[in-house]
Amino acid sequence: MVRRLLPRSMSWTWRSRAPQVHELRGGGTAVRGRAAAGVASHPGSRATSHLLAGNHVEDVEMRGSTTTGHWYFLSAVETWAKPSAAAAVMLGDSLTGGRGSTTNKNDRWPDRLLDRLQCHPATSDIAIVNQAAGGNRVLNDGLGPNVLARLDRDVLAQSGVKWLVVFGGVNDIGTAEATPAAQKETADRLIAAYEQIIVRAHAQGIRVYGGTLTPFGGNDMYDDENGHREGARQTVNRWIRTSRRFDGVIDLDRAARDPADPRRLHPAYDTGDGLHLNPAGYKALADVVPASLFQHKPLPPTFGFN
């Protein structure tokens, strides 16, 4: 048993010898701690935790426990792997965190992508690291630190990362004032932020792929009658598709939108709020990701200097 008393907001990493891991999902981890206000948690985990007073770290079942739809304390589990193994980080907000997916069913789009990769020998040694945070923004803090502030911790400090998928910006656009000036500034700052993410990841030998922003037409909070926010989304997506700054583009917008009304989600994928996707929608996002992006290829000699 590992005993540590950690200061507030501090991260701690430890190593231990553990049985070989054979299953992708379905395992559990027991953590014993003191009840306190402000416990570190992931409120949008779409998975169930079990709470029970006393020391139950050796128990096989948590009889009499209280369930809650959050994760607490533990943010990741790393395992020893063969040298060819590598990780791809998904950096985003609730659309990557899986709001609208099924609790305990692991049908977020990164989960579905992992299923696809595991089906092919060439990509079966790739891990998906989902670093999404609901309500997260690229530029400003919201529900947790902004993407630029958490890039080092959530991407660059992770083990074995070879690829990064950036899919964020909808919350920046949706929370900025719905005026031409405010939306132009937001689009310009998002593009500058993407540039910064690319530069910093490239310096660590990580390829970076850009995901286009999915529609939010009809959403009560983000859609504005004059279309200023939609205009900013189109500006950002145009840059992602055409700037050639990313090492590859994943057109999530095209996968999720309604062909008859491209500023809205496809009706079959919409949870009903015009912003978040259901499991079918998340499968559509995963299906549009080219598996070829995750090939083990050497980096070109000029990588990171262009």
Same domain, 215 and 69: no
Residue 1 has pLDDT above 50, yes or no: no
Strand-pair category, 161-167 with 126-132: unpaired
Helices 228-242 and 180-202: crossing angle in degrees, nearest 10, is 30
Question: Are residues 161 and 71 part of one domain?
Answer: no
Residue 264, pLDDT above cutoff 60:
yes
Section 55-60 average pLDDT: 76
> 8 - beta bridge partners?
none
Query: 81 falls in which pLDDT band (50, 70, 90)?
Result: confident
35 located within any domain: no
Strand pairing partners for 265? Answer: 257
227: left (phi over 0), alpha (psi -120 to 50) or beta: left
Tens digit of each residue's pLDDT (9 = 90 or more) over 36-53: 566 666 667 777 777 778
Same domain, 122 and 48: no
pLDDT grade for 90, boundaries at 50, 70 and 90: very high
Question: Same domain for 66 and 104?
Answer: no
21 in any annotated domain: no
**Residue 60 domain flag:** yes
Please give the average per-residue pLDDT across 66-94, as a whole number.
83
In a domain, 95, yes or no: yes
| Residue 11, in any domain of the structure | no
pLDDT at 13: 65
Distances (CA, A) of 35 to 52, 53, 60, 73, 228: 11, 9, 22, 12, 46
| Structural domains of the chain, count | 2
More confident residue, 110 or 142: 110
305 within some domain = no
Tens-digit pLDDT profile for residues 201-215: 999 999 999 999 999
**218-244: pLDDT as tens digits:** 999 999 999 999 999 999 999 999 999
CATH number (domain holding residue 133): 3.40.50.1110
Asked if residue 108 and residue 191 are part of one domain, the reply reads yes
For residue 7, the model assigns a pLDDT of 60
* Structural domain harbouring 103: 86-294
**Residues 59 and 195 both lie in one domain:** no
Q: What is the mean pLDDT of residues 248-260?
A: 98
What pLDDT sits at residue 14? 61
Same domain, 110 and 179: yes
25 pLDDT exceeds 70? no
Residues 138 and 169: their CA atoms lie apart, in Å, by 6
Euclidean distance between CA atoms 148 and 198, whole angstroms: 11
What is the predicted pLDDT for the residue at 20? Answer: 55
Residues 95 and 156 in one domain: yes
Chain segment 109-125, per-residue pLDDT in tens: 999 999 999 999 999 99
Domain final residue pick, 52, 75, 98:
75
Residues 233 and 288 in one domain: yes
Question: For residue 265, is it within any domain?
Answer: yes
- The pLDDT > 70 percentage for the chain reads 84
Q: Please check whether residues 141 and 166 belong to one and the same domain.
A: yes
- 271 in Cβ contact with 100 (< 8 Å): yes
Helix (H, G, I), strand (E, B) or coil at 170: helix
State which of 75, 97, 121 marks the end of a domain.
Answer: 75
Average pLDDT for 287-303: 93
Let me know if residue 2 belongs to a domain: no
Average pLDDT over residues 22-32: 56
Are residues 148 and 268 both part of a single domain? yes
The pLDDT assigned to 155 comes to 97
Residues 45 and 152 in one domain: no
Pairing mode of beta strands 71-72, 41-42: antiparallel
